[in-house]
Structures are given as structure tokens and as C-alpha cells.
Amino acid sequence: MNLFKKITLFTTIMTFCLIVLGAYVRLSDAGLGCPDWPGCFGTLTVPESQLAIEKAQHTFPGQVIENDKAWKEMVHRYVAGLLGLLILSIAYLAYKNKKSLKVNILVPYSLLGIVFFQAMLGMLTVTLLLKPIIVSAHLIGGMATLAILTYLSYEHFNKNSKLILKKSIIFYMARFGLILIFMQIFLGGWTSTNYAGLACTDFPTCHGQWIPDMDFKNAFNIFRNLGQTSEGAPISLNALHAIQWIHRVGAITVVIYFGYLSYALMKYKQLRFEAILLLIILAAQFVIGVANLILHLPMVLAVSHNLTAALLVIIITILNSKIKKQYA
């Protein structure tokens, strides 16, 4: 069981790092650094020699070979592959130690399904040329993996007793909070994958307007391709306004909701540390989001925005693990 705990914790940390790495790859426009999958220009690494480059150009005519972007993408794939093997080992160890497992065995098994789903999305991200719904779903899948691994790790490492709440709205708020943060992460991913992060560059208004001209129909059509409407025409700035504006509304909603939840949790001694930590991460996320707009998405802040989103998933998952409902 000790091996299960150690591998689960290591895999949780590795998943967090992979999410940050994936954000860096996406934000540096390296997602299509390799035009094929799972290899790169027909190789398992990146074409480096003159002969390998000529062969790649012959196999993929018209495709520009940018080694720096290709290596970023391949490192991301290598780490993801290793993560898949670790999750496979977690599922095996969970089965082997199922009598001493502190969670339903379906929880570690579900990770296998998510990893397979993530692999398919990774392939489709390349073959469908960064289709927004595929890239956004890939982000959600990564965050879901992080949440489940965090839950597994916390349940097996935590030695403190759970906080049992009788008929408390806090229990339901914490549960809904997990749904809410995933909804907001999807909106953030949708904003990023549609390159709508700078559709509005002022705050809190958008081009000086509280409610700018917006095209919701094309903004949230999940079947369209990147930069296009469903009819194939270039997507309008008004559609990008809508994406950015809804993400802002979501951000304000999240701040108010979790701000109140943190305040309510302060009265419980067992949850005070997590409540304070949630407030700190929430404030950091909001400040980084506004700074991204004002400073025009510098790489370090854009990646940090994804990092703090992952931290929010971790702390909210831990809160949900600690808060239990009394059914008697």
C-alpha cells in the first residue's frame, strides 16, 4: 500500500506539471509543431540532421519544420506517455490492494478511461488542426485527471478525521464549487483556444463599453473550426468579444462564490487553513487574469494563469474530500 500511496502522490505532482507544460506548449503556438501523431514528421523524436529534414520535407510537403516548437510538443507527448504508464500502474496496484483501498475501486479505474480519452483528444488536436472544442476538452480532461489523483492522494495520506456536517449548506456549496470551477476553466480554455484573450484589452470594460457588441451564436458554436464560423467565414471580432466577456462574467461569479464559501469555512477550525489558501489562490488568479489583459498576455503570466487554475482544482478537491455529510 505504501507503493500505491507514493506512486499516486508522484503522479499527482507530475500531472500538475504536465498541465503547466501543456499550457506553455499551447500558448507558444507549438501545438502543431509536429503535423502527425504520435510521432513527429514520421520519427519518434524531431528531425535534426539534414538527411532527416529532407526526408520530412518530402513526406510532409509545404510543412515548415520549426525544431524548437516540435521539441516542445514532443516533450509534452513523452511526459504524457509516462503519465499514462503511471496511471496504469495505479490501477493495477489499486486492484492488488483493493481490500485496503480507502476509496471506491472505480475511482482509480476511471483514470484509465480518462487517459485513453486524453490520448484520443491529443491525436485529434493535431489532425483537426487545433479545433477549439477538442483543445478545450483536452484541458478539461487534464484537470479532471488532476482532481481524481488529488482525491486519491489526499484520502490515503490524510490522517485527520473528516468534518461531518449536519444539514449544512456548506456541503452542497463545496460540491457545486467543484462543478463551477470546471465550468470556468472550460470558459478560460475556450477563450485561449479561440485566441480571444486580447479581444478586450481594458478592464473592467471592453473597449470602453460595459456590454460590447457581441455575437454569441458564432462565439459558442462548438462544431466550428478555429478562426471560422460554422459556414467557414472568418470569425468576427464581436464573437471574440462574446467569448472574452462571458469568461469575465464567469471570473466575477467564481470570485464572489468562493469568496463567500471561504468566509463561511473560516468558522470551522479543521477547514480554516484550506479556506485561507483558497482565498489567496483565488486572489492571485484574479490579479493574474487582469494583468494578462493590461500587459497583453506575457508568456509568464499566461502560463501562471493556468498554473493557478490547477491549484484551485487541487484545493477545492481537498475541501470536498474533507467535508462529509451525515446521512443518519
**Cα separation of the two ends of the chain:** 31
Chain-centroid distance of CA 39 in Å reads 24
Contacts of 148 (CB under 8 A, 6+ apart): 107, 110, 111, 114
Phi, psi of 296 (to 5 degrees): 65, 50
Q: What DSSP state is assigned to residue 37?
A: S
Q: What is the pLDDT of residues 64-122, one digit of tens each?
A: 999 999 999 999 999 999 999 999 999 999 999 888 888 889 999 999 999 999 999 99
Other beta carbons within 10 Å of 54: 11
pTM, full prediction: 0.95
Band (pLDDT 50/70/90 cuts) for residue 157 is confident
Q: Do 2 and 84 meet the contact criterion of CB atoms below 8 Å apart?
A: no
Minimum mean pLDDT range among 165-169, 209-213, 253-257, 295-299? 165-169
For 205-222, the pLDDT digits (tens) are: 999 999 999 999 999 999
Which residues participate in catalysis according to the annotation? Answer: 73
- Residue 162 pLDDT level (bands cut at 50, 70, 90): low
Q: Are strands 323-325 and 163-165 parallel, antiparallel or unpaired?
A: parallel
pLDDT, tens only, 50-74: 999 999 999 999 889 999 999 999 9
Query: What are the distances in angstroms from CA 151 to CA 156, 252, 289, 327?
Result: 9, 27, 27, 21
Q: Using an 8 Å Cβ cutoff, are 190 and 235 in contact?
A: no
Contact 28, 72 (CB under 8 A): yes
C-alpha cell at 77: 507527448
Give ∠ CA 117-12-155 in degrees, rounded to 5: 105
The answer to whether the CB of 189 falls within 8 A of the CB of 133 is no
Instruction: State how far the Cα of 54 lies from the Cα of 52, in Å rounded to an integer.
Output: 5
Residue 108 and residue 115: Cα distance in Å, rounded?
11
Residue 41 contacts residue 47 (beta carbons within 8 Å): yes
Please give the pLDDT value at position 159. 67
